[in-house]
A = this chain, B = another copy of it.
Amino acid sequence: MSFQIHSSCANTSARTGTLTTAHGEIPTPIFMPVGTQGMVKTLSPDELTDVVDARIILGNTYHLYLRPGLDVIRKMGGLHKFSTWDKPILTDSGGFQVWSLAKLRKISEQGVQFANHLDGSKTMLTPELSMEIQATLGSDIAMLFDECPPYPCEEKYAANSLGLTSRWAQRCKDWHVENAAKHVPWMLGTEHAKLETHQRQLIFGIVQGSTFADLREQSAKELVSIGFDGYAIGGISVGEPEHEMIRAIDNAVPFLPTDKPRYAMGLGTPPQMLEMIARGVDMFDCVMPTRVARHGLAFTEDGPIHIKNKAFEFDARPLDETTHPSLQKYSRSFIRHLFRSREMLSLRLLSLHNLHFYLRLMAQAREHIAAGTFETFKDHFIKRYTKN
């Protein structure tokens, strides 16, 4: 078993657990910083470990396949060695980026043909190729290749799309069982034996079905019957209102096995994540904390602040009283000055702070779930966070 549940909460579905991967154990609930090009934007692997306390990061299959490409990744010994990040990595399937970045998409039973956003050249991404790329990258957790319907979406489109995703899920699983060990760099030769856990590459399913409860149920059941190491809820955070996002979770979770991790893709704000944890979600990823950092926004327990604000001109306090000790010395006044001067250090400090805030929130959630005080913690946090 790669997933162990440790404690759960009386009045909510929140639970803590440990997910075991080839590159180490991950406590859940957990947030995964996004390392689009192999590393989290503006940050170094050492900072992710020492300041952020990241336990797993996400790599983007679409981006890494286009650049540097599989030849480089393969010759450099996989994504872990290439990026010098030796802790767990989850890779997405590339499907979401094909949908959001690529042009001239043509979806067929075989896969998706598209013109990539870098040089416009045509590429065909199939379930098998997505799995092969992820195996070559050597991620600890690979995601199945799905079609992500837009929001809003007609029920007929969503149903057809779901059918395709379920058929692709089977093809992904088949390829993975047959071929992963021949491509995953740390499963080849002696490397695997050296890793503490001896864990194979894991593969997660993705529940689709847009806003339709019966389709979410159908999707979850079809994936579970194929059998995956964990289950993501996809097709959320694509522009829908927050209540639809929560409904998508509510519509999927009851049909997922309790003994496998559940992953809400592309989420979210701190309150949204706490709401999802209360509904039994174990894993999150989102570009938001680093993307908004690059626009000058910092998370605090009293809600987000914009560092450009004139109110901080003479503010000698750190970004937040709870920020990491190594960031305490930087005043809001200094970070504001750096940001207004377009100095990269400001983007680094804001990114570090925001990810530290997110990972600290996960650690707090785990502690409160274990102590049986999660519901109170969640309510207090959200009340203070949303007061202003």
Contacts from A to B (Cβ < 8 Å): 37-39, 41-44, 46, 63, 67-68, 71-72, 75-76, 82-84, 313-314, 316, 326, 329-331, 333-334, 336-338, 340-341, 343-345, 347-349
Take A37-B341, A347-B344 as given contacts and tell me if A334 and B46 are in contact as well, using a CB distance cutoff of 8 Å.
no
Is B76 a contact partner of A314 (Cβ separation < 8 A)? yes
Q: What distance in Å separates the Cβ of A221 from its nearest Cβ neighbour in chain B?
A: 40
Copies in the complex: 2
Q: What distance in Å separates the Cβ of A43 from its nearest Cβ neighbour in chain B?
A: 7
Is A38 a contact partner of B334 (Cβ separation < 8 A)? yes
A82 CB contact (under 8 Å) in B75, B331, B345:
B331
| With A67-B337, A82-B337 already in contact, 10 other A-B pairs whose C-beta atoms are closer than 8 Å | A37-B338, A41-B343, A43-B345, A46-B326, A67-B341, A72-B314, A76-B333, A82-B333, A84-B330, A84-B334
Q: What distance in Å separates the Cβ of A114 from its nearest Cβ neighbour in chain B?
A: 19
In whole angstroms, what is the CA distance A42 to B71 when docked? 31
Question: Cβ of A39: which chain B residues have Cβ within 8 Å of it?
Answer: 338, 343, 345
Interface centre among A76, A326, A336 (most CB of B within 10 A): A76
Is B84 a contact partner of A337 (Cβ separation < 8 A)? no
In whole angstroms, what is the CA distance A316 to B39 when docked? 17
Is B344 a contact partner of A344 (Cβ separation < 8 A)? yes
Interface centre among A41, A83, A341 (most CB of B within 10 A): A341
Question: Which of chain B's residues has its CB closest to A42's CB?
Answer: B344
Interface centre among A75, A84, A337, A338 (most CB of B within 10 A): A337
